[in-house]
Amino acid sequence: MNLTMKDEILKRFLLAKDNPISGQFLADDLGISRTAIWKHLQTLQEEGYVFETIKKKGYVLVGKPDKVDPARINSFLTTERFGRNIHYLDEVTSTQSIAHELAREGAVDGTLVIAETQTKGKGRMARPWESTKGKGVWMTIIIRPDVPPSQAPQFTLVAAVAIVNAIKSICKNFMPSIKWPNDILINGRKCTGILTEMLAEMDRVDALLIGIGINANQQQDDFPPDLQTIATSLSIEEKEEINRPQLVATILNYLELYCDQYIREGFKPIKALWEESSGTIGKQIKATTLREVIEGKAIGITENGVLEIQLENGEIKGVYSADIEIM
C-alpha cells in the first residue's frame, strides 16, 4: 500500500465511524510523535476535512470533502492487489497517459491512477471524454494478466461486468445495462465508457490499461448541450448523491474477483454474467466497422467476446470491433 502517513491517519478516522481517536493512540499506533500527528491533522483540515475535539477523548472526523483520495477508497476495499497502490491527482491530461508511463516503469498489478478531472480525457477511437471536476470517476487500472494478446479484448467485457455489478450494489432505483463492447447505459443514456489499451510483446501481454470514466454526480446542466440528450449520471437516475470513493472501491473489488475468475476458469462464467446484463442482445442493431455497416439482430457473444449479428437472410456475422447503434 502506498498510503502516506497523512493518509494512514485519515484511514483510521474513516474506519472509526464517528468514534473519537486520541492523539496519543495515533502516535503510538503509527510510531510518530504527537506533534507530527497534529501537523498531519492541520494539513487534512486545510484539504477540507473537519475534526472536532472532544475533551479527554480525542478527535472525531465530522466533515469530509468530496474527493476520491487513497484513504477514502482504501476504507472500502476488500482486494488483495487492485487499488492497493494508488496514484491520486487533482488534475491530469488523462489517467490513461499517466498509466502508460507507470506501466512502462514497472507499476505492479492492480495499480490505480485516479484524478478529480482530466483536461484531455479520451474514449474509444481517440474521441474526447468530458471529465467534470469532482463529479465523476476518472481512473485507469493497470493489470498484468498472464495471457496472450489475443485475449486482451475480453478484459473490456470483464470490466463491464464488474462495473455493472458495482453500480447495482450501490444504486437501487434503476438497472444499468451493457452496450457492447464498452458502454454502460441507463434508460438508453450513456453513463460509463471503458477504454482498454495493451502493452504487449509478440506472445504475451505485458500490461493492460483499463480506463474507466463514469458520470457519477453530474446534473443535467453539467453536460455540454450536445450531450444532454444522450448522457446521464448515476446521481440523476438514483436521485441522490453517489459516494464516489465507495463506487471506485466496489468496482475494484469486483474487477479483481472477475479478472481472477477469468484467468482461472476461462471466459464462460464471465460471458454468462455479461449476457445477463446486456442491453444489446436480442435487439436490432446497426454495427459500423472500419470496412462496412452491418444491420441485423444481435444474438449473443462468442467465447472470444465477438458480437454475433444475424442478418435478415439468416447469415450470422461476427463483429470484433464496431460502433453500435440500437435501432
- C-alpha angle 86-91-94 in degrees, rounded to nearest 5: 75
The whole-angstrom separation of Cα 102 and Cα 85 is 11
Distance from C-alpha of 8 to C-alpha of 134, rounded to nearest angstrom: 23
CA contacts within 13 A on the Cβ side of 117: 9
Angle of CA points 47, 19, 41, to nearest 5° = 25
Task: List residues forming the annotated binding site.
Answer: 118, 190
Per the confidence metrics, is the pTM higher than 0.95? no
pLDDT confidence band for 181 (50 / 70 / 90): confident
Whole-angstrom CA distances from 313 to 101, 245, 317, 325 are: 48, 49, 11, 20
Distance, in Å, from the CA atom of 140 to the CA atom of 92, rounded to the nearest integer, reads: 12
Angle at 271 between CA 145 and CA 310, to 5 degrees: 125
Number of alpha helices (DSSP H) and beta strands (DSSP E) in the chain: 9, 14
pLDDT at 122 over 80: no
Assigned architecture for domain 70-277? 2-Layer Sandwich (3.30)
Q: Choose the weakest-confidence range: 33-37, 120-124, 164-168.
A: 120-124
Q: 250-285 pLDDT, tens per residue? A: 999 999 999 999 999 999 999 999 988 988 888 888
- Say if domain 283-326 classifies as CATH 2.30.30.100: yes
Report residue 98's pLDDT band, with 50, 70 and 90 as the boundaries.
very high
What 8-state DSSP symbol labels residue 126?
Answer: G
**220-239 as b/e: b if 16+ CB within 10 A:** eebbeeebeeebbbbbbbbe
Q: Give dist(CA 289, CA 320) in Å, integer.
A: 9
Per-residue model confidence (pLDDT) at position 126: 52
Instruction: Give the integer Cα–Cα distance in Å for 292 and 161.
Output: 28
Instruction: State how far the Cα of 299 lies from the Cα of 204, in Å rounded to an integer.
Output: 31
Instruction: Choose between 217 and 223: higher pLDDT.
Output: 217
| Predicted local distance difference test score (pLDDT) of residue 191 | 93
Mean pLDDT, range 141-166, rounded to an integer: 93
CA distance 237 to 174: 7
Encode pLDDT of 58-79 as tens digits.
Answer: 999 998 888 898 989 998 999 9
Alpha-carbon gap, residue 150 to 147, rounded angstroms: 8
Domain 5-63 has what CATH class? mainly alpha
Looking at residue 47, its pLDDT comes to 84
Q: Quick count: other Cβ atoms within 10 Å of Cβ 240?
A: 12
Cα–Cα distance, 252 to 141 (Å, whole number): 9
Q: How far is CA 79 from the centre of its chain?
A: 14
Output the known binding site for biotin: 118, 190
Residue 131 and residue 187 in contact, taking contact as beta carbons nearer than 8 Å: no
For the chain, the structural domain boundaries read: 5-63, 70-277, 283-326
- In DSSP notation, 218-266 reads --GGGS-GGGTTTB--HHHHHTS---HHHHHHHHHHHHHHHHHHHHHH-
The Cα-based distances of 229 to 120, 221, 257, 302 in angstroms read: 22, 11, 35, 32
Averaged pLDDT of the chain = 89
What contacts 201, CB < 8 A, 6 or more positions away? Answer: none
